[in-house]
Structure 1
Amino acid sequence: MKVLSIVSHPRKNSLTFEVAGRFVQGLTAAGHDYEILDLHEIGFDPVLKEADEPDLSAAEQSFSPEVEMEIKRLKEHDALAFIFPIWWWHLPAMLKGYIDRVWNNGFAYGSNHLPHQHVLWIGLAGVSKEQMKKRNYDEMMTHLLNVGIADYCGISNSKVAFLYETLDSKPDHYEMLLNQAYCFGLNYAKNHECGPRKSD
C-alpha cells in the first residue's frame, strides 16, 4: 500500500517528527510505500473560508486550489496515517483545520466517500495511560476519530494508537516510544498489538 502520513507539529526537532520517522521506517520494512505530508512545512492554512464552505445542496463541489491539490494528493494513496500531539484532549488546530477543509462535502462525505482502505491515528500524550483513562479521554478521542470522522467518511478500518508520557525524556522511555512507532508501521493494517517494550 501507499500510505500518506500526515504530520502536525510546528517543530521539526519534536518527538512527533521522531515518531513519524520511525513509523515510516516500519512501513518500509513491511513493504509499503509512503509520503510524509508536513502541514506546517507546506504552509497549509487551517482556516475554513467561503471557497471551501461545505455546500450540502451540491452533489459535487469545487474548492479552492489549495484544497483541490490536497484532494488530488489523497487520491494518490491507498491508506492514511495521522501523527500528532494531543492538545486539550483533541487534535491540534492545524490538523482539525486540514480535516475541516479537505475532507469536505462531495469528496469525503455526502455523495462520495474517501476511497482509502485504512487510517491510523497516532496521538502523542504527555500524560500517563491512567490519566487518559481517568475521565475517559482515551475513549472519547477513539470514538471521535474512528466513528465520528473515519467511519462517517467511509473508512471502516480505523485505529487509534496512543503514545503515553511523551514529556518523559529518559533515554529508555524515549526509545521505547520510538520502538512502538516502528511497530505501528511494521504492523500497519494488521491486528498485531504494539505495546510498550524496552529497547534491546
Structure 2
Amino acid sequence: MRVLTVVSHPRVQSLTFSVAERFTQGLADGGHESEVLDLHRSGFNPVLWEADEPESSSARKIYSPEVEAEIGRMMKHDALVYIFPVWWHSFPAMLKGYIDRVWNNGFAYGANKLPHKKVLWIGLASAPKVHYEKYKYDKMMSHHLNIGIAGFCGISNSKVEILYDTLDSNPETFEKLLAQAYHLGLYYDHDIKSIAQ
C-alpha cells in the first residue's frame, strides 16, 4: 500500500519527528511504500486566500498551484497518516490550514469524495490518558477527526491514536511511545477499524 505520512511540528528534533521516523520504519517493515511530507520544511503556507476559497458553484474548481500540487501528491497514495502534537485538544494550526486548503470542495467533499482507503491520525499528548478520559477529550477528538473530517470526506476507515504522557522524561516512557509508533506502522492494515462498525 502507498501511504502518505504528513508530519506537523516546528522542530525536526522533536518527539513528533521521532515518532514519525519509527512509524514509517514500521510501514516499511510491513511492506508498505511511504512518502513523508514535512509541512514546515516543505514551506507549505497554511493561510487560505481567495484562490483556495471553497467554491460550490462548480463541480471542481482549479485551486492555487500549491494546493493543486498537494492534491496531486495525495492522489498518488492509497492511504493517509497525520502525525502531530495535540495542542488545545486538536491539531496545530499548520495542519488545520493544510486540511482547509487541500481537503477542499470538489476534491475532498461536495461533488467528489476522497478515494483513499484509510486514514490514521496520530496525536502526541502531554497529559496522561486518565486526564483525556476524565474530560472526554479523547472521544471529542475521535468524533471530530473520524466523523467530522474523514467521514465527511468519504473515508469511513479512520482511526485516532493518541500517544499519552509525551512530556514524561523517563527513558522507558520514551521507548514505549516509539514502540507504539513502530507497531502502528508495522500493523497498519490491521489496526484501523471502520468508524461505521
Any conservation in 2 of the 1:7–1:36 contact (CA below 8 Å)? yes
Aligned residues: 193
Q: Specify the code of the residue in structure 1 equivalent to 2:179.
A: N
Which residue is 2:62 aligned to?
Answer: 62
Q: Which runs of 4+ in 1 moved over 6 A?
A: none
What secondary structure is seen at the aligned counterpart in 1 of 2:91?
A: coil
Q: Does 1:141 align with 2:157?
A: no
Q: CA offsets, 1:39-91, max 9 Å, x none?
A: 00011111110000001111111100000000000000000000000000111
TM-score scaled by structure 2?
0.96
Q: Percent identity?
A: 63
Any conservation in 2 of the 1:118–1:189 contact (CA below 8 Å)? no
Any conservation in 1 of the 2:120–2:192 contact (CA below 8 Å)? no
TM-score scaled by structure 1?
0.95
Q: Specify the code of the residue in structure 2 equivalent to 1:143.
A: H
CA RMSD of aligned residues (A): 1.1
Which residue is 2:171 aligned to?
Answer: 171
Which residue is 1:15 aligned to?
Answer: 15
Q: Does 1:2 align with 2:2?
A: yes
Any conservation in 2 of the 1:46–1:94 contact (CA below 8 Å)? yes
Cα distance in 1 for residues equivalent to 2:191 and 2:128: 24
Cα distance in 1 for residues equivalent to 2:34 and 2:81: 10
Where structure 1 has 5 or more consecutive residues not aligned to the other structure, the ranges are 194-200
Which residue is 1:93 aligned to?
Answer: 93
Cα distance in 2 for residues equivalent to 1:126 and 1:76: 33
Which residue is 1:121 aligned to?
Answer: 121
Cα deviation for residue 192 of structure 1 reads 7.8
